[in-house]
Amino acid sequence: MAGDLLFRKPSIDVIQGDTLGPMFGVVEGSATVTYMKPGVLMVRSATSGEVDIAGATDISGNVGILGYEATPLVYKPADRDTIYAVGDHVAIHNSPGFRFRGHLTPSSGAVVPGSPLCHRGDASGNLELYLGPTTSVVSGTGVPLVLARSLEAVTPGTSYASCVCWMEWL
């Protein structure tokens, strides 16, 4: 990557510019924690105060992006690429205009700065390139909402770990 595109990319942070501060929740007992890393989409669970990773049926219930910096130290993972565990108290960010290091679906199309991004509609909590108002590009179901826009050009690789992109929450 040649430049920082008018914002300073931090070396370890996941979130920038959340002036309202995060919400906090507890990772649900039955949560899908396989992909629950900072930077994925979260939803409120049926249990009060608990959250889970955004799944295939949660397209309209997204509450924000799983954070890292504001998570209480006792629950904070070793680094931003380590998953959270069931019962962890986590920070969830959703202030308009904040920037975050989010995860793109490996099969999503290449994005350029300004590309609209929506929820993938699967159990990964990833975002994908928004292609239109009627269906999700990969799952083919639901009506995706544009949640973020890309701040850099990225061509997703084939593995989950290789598909990170700085984004701005809308």
Burial category of 142 from C-beta neighbours within 10 Å (exposed 0-12, middle 13-18, buried 19 and up): middle
pTM of the model: 0.82
In this structure, are residues 151 and 90 in contact, taking their beta carbons and an 8 Å threshold? Answer: no
Domain total for the chain? 1
CB atoms within 10 A of CB 100: 26
**Which amino acid would we find at residue 53?**
I
State the 10-residue block means of pLDDT for the chain, 170 residues long.
Answer: 49 74 88 87 82 72 87 92 93 91 84 90 84 59 80 83 86
106: in domain:
yes
Indicate the SS3 state at residue 99: strand
165: in domain:
yes
2: in domain:
no
136: in domain:
yes
pLDDT of residue 1: 38
pLDDT of residue 2: 41
pLDDT of residue 3: 44
pLDDT of residue 99: 92
Burial category of 21 from C-beta neighbours within 10 Å (exposed 0-12, middle 13-18, buried 19 and up): exposed
pLDDT of residue 91: 93
130: in domain:
yes
Strands 23-27, 50-53: pairing is parallel
**Domain range enclosing 133:** 100-169
pLDDT of residue 65: 93
- Helix (H) or strand (E) holding 100, with range, is strand 99-103
27: in domain:
no
107: in domain:
yes
Cα(60)–Cα(126) distance, rounded to whole angstroms?
Answer: 14
In this structure, are residues 71 and 29 in contact, taking their beta carbons and an 8 Å threshold? Answer: no
